[in-house]
Amino acid sequence: MTRGKFITIEGCEGVGKSTNMAFLKTHLTKNNISVVSTREPGGTYLAEKIRHILLEKDTETIAESAELLLMFAARAQHIKHVIEPALAAGHWVISDRFTDATYAYQGGGRLMKVSTIAWLENWVQGSLRPDLTLLLDAPVEIGLQRIKERGDLDRFETEKIHFFERVRRAYIVQSEMHPERIKVIKANQSLAEVQAAIVNALRVLVR
């Protein structure tokens, strides 16, 4: 059986990941591709519990090192119980965020050592990497305005603008390091233009 493809969608808050995840799933399904749609942190029963801990605004501050380890703990469960089984069965997996988000949020936003993240990436994931990453990029101010309009912000969404500026820069650095995998899409275009760019980026996988 042919192994499936692994696609991730990345970007700062408010860039339209959820909307375009749904579009991507529909587009692939129309091309007769079996798709498993998931998210990080989360994707399994235990990983969703970890997600709740990470996103909840609580009285106890989460140490930065604990935050990083929780991200990879959730990812380990996600890989073992969702991603790898689906890929092995020939399904395509599309995930709302994966390890590029850790480089961006914990590496860029929290200013944690990239070498530490890379070590955990290799340990937890082995050789697993996305076949394609769609990085939705827009000025931070636009994304923050969108999430403010939604209301009910989680722990990450309440961070200051400087945090998100560092996150965005870290994402761009990742795209420059891995241009063959990470395709940057301007998310401040019209939705039709964004989705046309997604379809164009998919051509490396969908012939």
Structure tokens at 121: 């990436």
Given this model, what pLDDT does residue 148 score? 79
Q: Taking the C-alpha atoms of 36, 142, 100 and 118 in order, what is their torsion angle to the nearest 10 degrees?
A: -160
Q: Which fold has domain 6-202?
A: Rossmann fold (3.40.50)
Q: Using alpha carbons only, how large is the chain's radius of gyration in Å?
A: 16
- What is the length of the chain? 207
Given this model, what pLDDT does residue 152 score? 77
Given this model, what pLDDT does residue 207 score? 63
CA distance 87 to 27: 18
Instruction: Provide the 8-state DSSP code for 103.
Output: I
Say what angle helices 114-125 and 64-78 make with each other, to 10 degrees.
20
Name residues of the chain where pLDDT drops below 70: 207
Given this model, what pLDDT does residue 119 score? 98
- The torsion region of residue 90 among left (phi > 0), alpha (psi -120 to 50) and beta comes to left
Max CA pair span of the chain: 51
Helix ranges (DSSP H) in the chain:
17-30, 45-55, 64-78, 84-88, 99-102, 114-125, 140-150, 161-177, 191-202
CA distance 205 to 183: 13
